[in-house]
Homo-oligomer: A and B are copies of this chain.
Amino acid sequence: MNDNDKELLAKSLAALQIPKTHVTVGLSNLIASNKDVRSLLIHRRLPDSGWSDHEIQWFLYTVATLDTNLKTPISSKIMTTSSNSSSVRWCGVGEREGRVYSNLVAQRHFGLSHGVGRSGDITEPQPKAVGSSVLAKLTLLMVMDGVRRGSGLHAQTAAAHGILLPLCTGMSMALVLSSLRESGATSCSNTKERDVVLWSRIDQKSCFKAVTAAGLTCVVVPTARNGDCVVTDMDAMCAAIKQYKGRVLAVITTTSCFAPRVPDSVDEVAKLCQEFDVCHVVNNAYGLQCAVTCKRINRACVVGRVDAVVCSTDKNFLVPVGGAIVMSPSDTVIHNIGTMYAGRASASPMVDLFITLLSMGLSGYKKLLEQRQVMLTTFPVRLNQVAEKYGERMLACPSNSISFGITVDGLARPRRRDEDENDYLQAVEKDISRFGAMLFSRCVSGTRIVPRCVTNTIGGQEFLGFGSSCDDYPHAYMTAACAIGVGPDEIDEFLVRLDKTFKEFKKKQ
């Protein structure tokens, strides 16, 4: 919108008999919108204030217009237009031309249909889809800015470079590992011989499976206990690195997890990785919401080696499931991940993130982070109060600020004199699980009940005490999270329902 444009528009509106003074005011609105867009294009940062939905849609429609082959959905082609060949602007004679059959589908993607990336690299712009390419680039730049200025991962450390993947955290982890293996990210001569990944135990299936999907062998490094906390066992880690020497491609640590597991000592592991020249990948699935965790990762990048940090977009930015952001101090690592992705991908997770970031703005994102901080000042205390009412207590894991555990040992009935221990344990496990079901049926979602002594097998590997990330945690417990986006009224209600459920359970017992 410049002087010529304004003149033309002003002239047109005058011809429509809109008074000049009105036009001036109207144009000032349009110019204000254009300014926002211009500012986004020039600074390529998360805007300080969020945009309105109106502005976002206007921009999306504009951006989509840049795409080639923005055609009318096939189901809308009326006979009247088909004879009217002058209306064919683009003829598509490829095997994939971004044609969309349904109106509803075209509408929900704002006309974008080409996905993102090319067969060679998921970050590569598509000639047919300039709009999608622009959107993908801007989304990445905005989320990196948000991570730096909002979450606190530094541009000098982990948030130096980044890539958005339309994959969940697990599959992203697989892709990262594959690319590290293929690109010889470690300095050893023959990385193909590096077929082992060391994994500081965290009882969650996706990550373990990711290692296998990448064609690598996962070696589980046991954790240690420190008071109530389940922590990184640095000695075991060191021993494992030495044991698999020459075969270790990478160590995986985890920084967001269910209590009583606490975030891994990423800095200590980072030092070890540097010393032994192996890669270090941090599974930071939903850790961006925690300033302390981000600081710890910053430090790890400074004192040792971190190759990649993998974060979920849905858990951190409140979009539907399906995307991940991978960050790294190294440009090369990020580049290699992009080229490892085989084919084009759905742009949908990026569209969601694009809209959400524009809608939040930096201030909105910060408010969400602050709101969680405010909730944290009372949640653990109040949770503990409910627990104590029923003879239980909170597990003391101060370094996990997202997930909180309370013991539920008292939910187990006493062992009958003549009862076989195994039978007893199984019966008790069932009982305790019922507590979770009761909460769920009262519309409480997200709690986890972990009885003692459950064994689970994943990919042929047996896990004792599954759920607590260590072989024999001395308590049955329940966890609940105080995660980004949770509202005070939800917390209030949760505590009320938890209380009621305890009462009812005890009564039945």
* 25 pairs, A vs B, C-beta closer than 8 Å: A1-B5, A5-B5, A16-B44, A16-B133, A16-B138, A16-B141, A18-B133, A22-B125, A22-B130, A25-B130, A25-B440, A49-B84, A49-B87, A53-B104, A54-B61, A54-B106, A58-B58, A69-B445, A99-B486, A101-B318, A119-B170, A178-B213, A207-B342, A321-B345, A321-B347
Q: Does A156 contact B (CB under 8 A)?
A: no
Query: Which residues 302-322 of A sit at the B interface, judged by CB distance below 8 A?
Result: 312, 314-315, 317-322
Q: Cβ of B490 and Cβ of A340 under 8 Å apart?
A: no
Q: Does A389 contact B (CB under 8 A)?
A: no
Give the Cβ gap from A238 to chain B, nearest Cβ, in Å: 26
Cα–Cα, bound, A9→B451 (Å):
34
Q: Cβ of A88 and Cβ of B493 under 8 Å apart?
A: yes
Partner of A127, one of B22, B58, B86: B22
Chain B residue at minimal CB-CB distance from A56: B104
Cα–Cα, bound, A26→B178 (Å):
34
Q: Does A137 contact B (CB under 8 A)?
A: yes
Q: Does A399 contact B (CB under 8 A)?
A: no
Q: Does A70 contact B (CB under 8 A)?
A: yes
Chain B hits for A207, CB < 8 A? 342
Q: Does A32 contact B (CB under 8 A)?
A: yes
Assuming the contacts A318-B99, A321-B346, A346-B322, asked whether A30 and B65 have C-beta atoms less than 8 A apart, the reply is yes
Give the Cβ gap from A482 to chain B, nearest Cβ, in Å: 8
Chain B hits for A489, CB < 8 A? 81-85, 87-88
Chain B hits for A85, CB < 8 A? 489, 492-493
Query: Which residues 115-159 of A sit at the B interface, judged by CB distance below 8 A?
Result: 115-116, 119-120, 125-128, 130-131, 133-134, 137-138, 141
Query: Which residues 52-91 of A sit at the B interface, judged by CB distance below 8 A?
Result: 52-58, 61-62, 64-72, 74-91
Q: Cβ of A487 and Cβ of B344 under 8 Å apart?
A: no
Partner of A54, one of B2, B97, B111: B111
Q: Does A265 contact B (CB under 8 A)?
A: no
Q: Cβ of B50 and Cβ of A137 under 8 Å apart?
A: no
Cα–Cα, bound, A504→B496 (Å):
57
Kindly specify which of A224-232, A355-363, A417-425, A466-474 makes contact with the partner chain.
Answer: A355-363
Give the Cβ gap from A457 to chain B, nearest Cβ, in Å: 11
Q: Cβ of A348 and Cβ of B349 under 8 Å apart?
A: yes
Kindly specify which of A161-169, A267-275, A292-300 makes contact with the partner chain.
Answer: A161-169
Chain B hits for A17, CB < 8 A? 125, 137
Q: Cβ of B27 and Cβ of A113 under 8 Å apart?
A: no
Chain B residue at minimal CB-CB distance from A54: B111
Q: Cβ of B320 and Cβ of A347 under 8 Å apart?
A: yes
Q: Cβ of A355 and Cβ of B105 under 8 Å apart?
A: yes
Cα–Cα, bound, A84→B333 (Å):
39
Q: Cβ of B215 and Cβ of A359 under 8 Å apart?
A: no
Assuming the contacts A78-B76, A181-B215, asked whether A480 and B93 have C-beta atoms less than 8 A apart, the reply is yes
Give the Cβ gap from A454 to chain B, nearest Cβ, in Å: 15
Chain B residue at minimal CB-CB distance from A285: B95
Q: Does A376 contact B (CB under 8 A)?
A: no
Given contacts A49-B84, A88-B489, A91-B491, 6 further A-B contacts (CB under 8 A): A2-B2, A12-B41, A29-B68, A29-B130, A80-B364, A119-B209
Q: Cβ of A322 and Cβ of B115 under 8 Å apart?
A: yes
Q: Does A410 contact B (CB under 8 A)?
A: no
Assuming the contacts A88-B490, A97-B486, A213-B175, asked whether A206 and B342 have C-beta atoms less than 8 A apart, the reply is yes
